[in-house]
Chains A and B, each alone.
Chain A
Amino acid sequence: MSTPREEAVPFEAARPIQLARPQRRHLAIAAFVVAALLLPLAAQSFITFQLTLVMVYGLAILGLNLLTGFNGQFSLGHSAFYGIGAYTAAILMDRWDLPYFCTLPAAGAVCFAVGFLFGLPALRLQGIYLALATFALAIAMPQILKFDPLEGLTGGVQGISILKPDPPFGMPIDADQWLYYFTLAVILVMFAGAASLAHSRTGRAMMAIRDNPIAAAAMGINTALYKSLTFGVSALYTGVAGALGAIAVQFVAPDSFSYLLSVSLLVGLVVGGVGSIPGSLFGGVFVLFVPNLAERVSTGLAGAIYGVILLIVIFVMPSGAAGFARLTIGRLTGSRQPRP
């Protein structure tokens, strides 16, 4: 229930962040890539490992972002897709001895199929009902993974262990650093893909469906097809992230992929900025580091501290980091951002 006192237009849903001029954006991206390339050379192994996980979560959050931020479909079930991606990678590497890089396309394909198939019946559900359906998926996943008849494939409660890949061609870096660069390459490609999707006709169709499904349909957009496809692509992104995560952590077990992961992804999405592609990466940082931070402040009250930090972040940045950045840049450059 909103007071339309100040703004008669509805509070603006976050749009993809756009800096004032494209050159600035390219500069920022270039700076980021350079920094990202240099970091592991200066940092310890464990930090490199954590940064790899940041990228993995960022990618997973980007997947959720595509569905919820760009297409307006609510999902509390992305932990399931992450888990499916992770298990696909683990099973392919452990049972069928496939090299790690092959597992990514496989995980993506499997998750796309599952996501698309889930998206079809989900077309009938809206808002809170869709959330419940996806939540059912999230709840079901660990239980399916522990299901006795499937134990041969999934390893049951104990899960599957896999080996960390070695750097190829005998490069003078250690396995953690290699994994970091590999992950970096993958996410750069996938983030770029998402950005290009967002600016394409397909992306605009997705956003049209989010903003006004009736009008979108009236304009001739096949909403059913787009919504299901978006589900598939979103699942694909999160599934690939899951595969990368499995390779990094070297281990998959059912309870790692519970609804709590879905909640984390959602938190990361909101903190980063719904509808913002770079924001997803910030979300990954938040989701990885802040719970640890909270635990270090007080083990007994870790959850409460996390909650308080989360509330402060929401209060200060109701539209996430991306929205906050947009406001700050707007104020600093003095330029009035055109309302998108």
Chain B
Amino acid sequence: MELLLQQVMAGLATGAIYACMALAVVMIYQAIDHLNFAQGEMAMFSTFVAWQLIEWGQPYWLAFVLSIALSFVGGVAIERILFRPLHRAPVLSNLVSFIALFGILNSAAGFIWDFNVKTFPTPFGTRPLFGSALIDTHEAGMIGVTLLMLLLLYGFFRGTRLGLAMRAAAENPESARLVGIRVGWMTALGWGMAAAIGAVAGMLIAPVVFLEPNMMGGVLLYGFAGAVLGGLTSPGGAVIGGFAVGVIENLAGAFIPYVGRELKLTIALVLIVAVLMVRPSGLFGRTVVSRV
């Protein structure tokens, strides 16, 4: 029982990472109807930028804020320069562009900062939380920040005019234009926000998995899995999905024989696919009824 609880808590802690990533993934998906395969690399790059600022002597909080701001601008720029010209290209061409972006960011990061593992500081410290052996302060901090971001996003989308405009543009671009919304800029904004969220995710994750160009590969995949499990239309669902993936992965590793590190991912994915068979739009996704 103790073991189960431990594994669940550990799962929630790693799940916070995936939840963060899943949130960024859903954000962009809502804006552009595609999964951004380069999301992880963007987050990684943002984290390196923050790391560099800290190396140059800046305080953590400044590096944190600057990295988010720069990531936002970067996300907007990538959309305007790279993906806007491609918006009429077939879906698969867009997909390949994401792959290209992935390669560019990964390779560039390795070139600029090399592939050696680096440490990244955490503002939360790593002391056990309230003396408990189950979870430490950084892990609690991750969970807290993820939930806070979720809350802010919810407030933004439900409570502001701009948020409403973005939702409208994502749902029905043609009708959005007919009410005067500049749909192109809404997409760019979505990218910027996703990049910013990714930056936060990266900076939270780096203290745990250590900073190096390949740190986000597995995380992104789990993030996707969590987003899909939760349902790609629901940021809240994505967060829950991310936590769920973390717990499932940990429990599978602990309790199913033969499942070493290698197979944990497969098990997690298989379980998710199984869920999708029963609920094809994810746990909290809305089934889109299309009229013929």
Contact = CB atoms under 8 A, between A and B. Distances in A.
Are A and B direct contacts in the complex by CB distance below 8 Å?
Answer: yes
A318 interface: yes
B266 A140 contact: yes
Interface of A: 1-4, 7, 11, 13-14, 68, 121, 124-126, 128-129, 131-133, 135-136, 139-140, 143-144, 146-149, 214-215, 263, 266-267, 269-271, 274, 300-308, 310-311, 314-315, 318-320
B96 A318 contact: no
A321 B183 CA distance: 31
The interface centre, meaning the residue of B103, B173, B228, B258 with most chain A CB atoms within 10 A of its CB, is B103
Interface stretch (B3-11, B141-149, B157-165, B267-275): B267-275
The interface centre, meaning the residue of B92, B187, B225 with most chain A CB atoms within 10 A of its CB, is B92
Interface of B (DSSP majority class): helix
Can you list the 9 inter-chain pairs with the closest CB atoms, starting with the nearest?
A: A303-B107, A136-B269, A307-B103, A318-B89, A307-B104, A304-B107, A310-B100, A307-B100, A303-B103
Contacts of B265: 139, 143
26 contacts: A1-B33, A1-B187, A3-B173, A124-B280, A125-B277, A125-B280, A126-B280, A131-B35, A132-B269, A132-B272, A132-B273, A139-B266, A140-B269, A147-B258, A147-B263, A148-B258, A266-B95, A271-B96, A302-B107, A303-B106, A304-B107, A306-B103, A307-B107, A308-B100, A314-B93, A318-B93
Contacts of B276: 124-125, 129, 132-133
Contacts of B64: none
Interface string B102-128: 111011101100000000000000000
B90 A319 contact: yes
Contacts of B33: 1
B280 A143 contact: no
Given A270-B96, A307-B102, A146 B273 contact: no
A128 B35 contact: yes
Given A1-B87, A267-B96, 15 more contacts: A1-B33, A1-B170, A2-B88, A3-B183, A3-B184, A11-B88, A13-B90, A129-B280, A132-B272, A136-B266, A136-B273, A307-B104, A311-B104, A318-B90, A318-B93
Contact of B99 (A131, A140, A148, A310): A310
B101 interface: yes
A143 B103 contact: no
Nearest to A1: B173
A128 B263 CA distance: 23
B89 A314 contact: yes
Given A125-B280, A128-B232, A136-B273, A2 B92 contact: no
Given A1-B169, A139-B265, A314 B100 contact: yes
Nearest to A274: B92
A304 B108 contact: yes
B262 interface: yes
A264 to B, nearest CB: 9
B57 interface: no
B131 interface: no
